Amino acid sequence: MERWQKTLSESITSLDELARFVRIDIESLRPVIPRYPLRITRTYLSLIQKKDDPIGRQCIPDQRELEQDDLSIDPLNEKDLTVAPGLIHRYPDRVVLLVSSACPTLCRFCTRKNRMGGEENLINRNSLKSALEYIKTRPSIREVILSGGDPLLLSDDELETILTRLRKIPHLEIVRLHTRAPVTLSDRITDRLCRMLKQYHPIYLNTQFNHPIEITPLSTMACTRLADAGIPLGNQTVLLKGVNDDPEVMKQLMQKLLTIRVRPYYIHQMDLVKGTGHFRTSIQKGLNIMAGLRGYTSGMATPSYVVDLPGGKGKVPFLPDDVKRLENIFYLRNYLGEVVEYPDINE
């Protein structure tokens, strides 16, 4: 057993275990667990001081998850976009391949929390074949995003099998991994894994840091190893009430990410997912955060703020200065005589 597998096996999965480390009201949380399981790695647990601090809120169950909130279990309509088991195709040139149904630490705000663990939508040896067949026969697909769950819960060998088969497809240019393992299971980023991955370049990896506290010596080491293997690192932060819905915290997070060679990519508005309503912030909040970044810190520390439109319409960036942009367009017209028009979005 590799060290990360041992760390994983020592994860907290019951309220009674958790109560040995954090003060929680076990009885009030008990009904949540059958519906939405609990899993926290020791790595992540060690960052919690209190149940409602920015780390505790992300992974400790909350009674509000069971509230009748009328929210959807699949707001992005991934079901209808599933073209083969485990394969989601929404955009012309890229697909998402779900290769794992588990995560080292289960985030309470997860978009897929109502569908996690469901094996039917997951790739296995047979269905991988049909997913690959789909990609092979569509030359417009340039990029495959390995997601889940967390693709790094596969063993190196399982992952390599998938990469080898993907790399046999001539028109496939980019493989991207979506994983929170650098943060929640930093051990997973071994030298062996990095040596394997770099044979399949260009590999990109997007991770998910949501608070500056998550940038620790361990997560820094994980990102250093990946970056040293030539893997460009991006970060997708989820905007979470009570965790990071604060311009100063976000600015600090984005700036610190650059110091560990992780480039901020997206800030995500919470999706309208059943059981996560208590994490939602207003879009105004997100715009204020963006206003606190733009012009105040490096453009490299400024991600796009995106809202994934319900129903599977896709991600749309929101800017704090949409009015200002219109002014700039008029300025260009007057000053340079150039007429800039918005692209025609009506197909």
Ligand X SMILES: *Cc1c(COP(=O)(O)O)cnc(C)c1O
Q: Which of 57, 89, 90, 112 binds ligand SF4 (CB under 6 A)?
A: 112
Contacts with ligand X, 2-41, as mask; x by CB under 6 A: ----------------------------------------
**Residue with Cβ nearer ligand X (38 or 95):** 95
94 is catalytic: yes
- Give the C-alpha separation, 276 to 90, whole Å: 24
Nearest to 271 by CA among 77, 134, 123: 77
70 is catalytic: no
**Which residue is catalytic, options 107, 180, 245, 274?**
107
Q: Which of 18, 29, 45, 110 binds ligand SF4 (CB under 6 A)?
A: 110
**Residue with Cβ nearer ligand X (145 or 250):** 145
Dihedral sign for Cα 236, 39, 247, 298, please.
negative
Size of the site for ligand SF4 (CB under 6 A): 8
Q: Which stretch binds ligand X (CB under 6 A): 59-67, 84-92, 103-111, 151-159?
A: 84-92
Contacts with ligand SF4, 178-217, as mask; x by CB under 6 A: --x-------------------------------------
User: Residue 38 binds what, of ligand X, ligand SF4, none (CB under 5 to 8 Å, by partner type)?
Assistant: none
Location of structure tokens 């819905």 = 245
322 is catalytic: no
**Residue with Cβ nearer ligand SF4 (106 or 123):** 106
Nearest to 147 by CA among 115, 177, 114, 119: 177
**Residue with Cβ nearer ligand SF4 (51 or 208):** 208
- Say if CB 142 and CB 170 are below 8 A apart: no
The footprint of ligand X on residues 135-164 (CB under 6 A) is 145
Size of the site for ligand X (CB under 6 A): 7
**Residue with Cβ nearer ligand X (90 or 180):** 90
Catalytic center residues = 90-91, 94, 103, 107, 110, 112, 271, 308, 315
Q: Provide the binding-site residues for ligand X, judged by CB under 6 A.
A: 88, 90-91, 94, 96, 145, 315
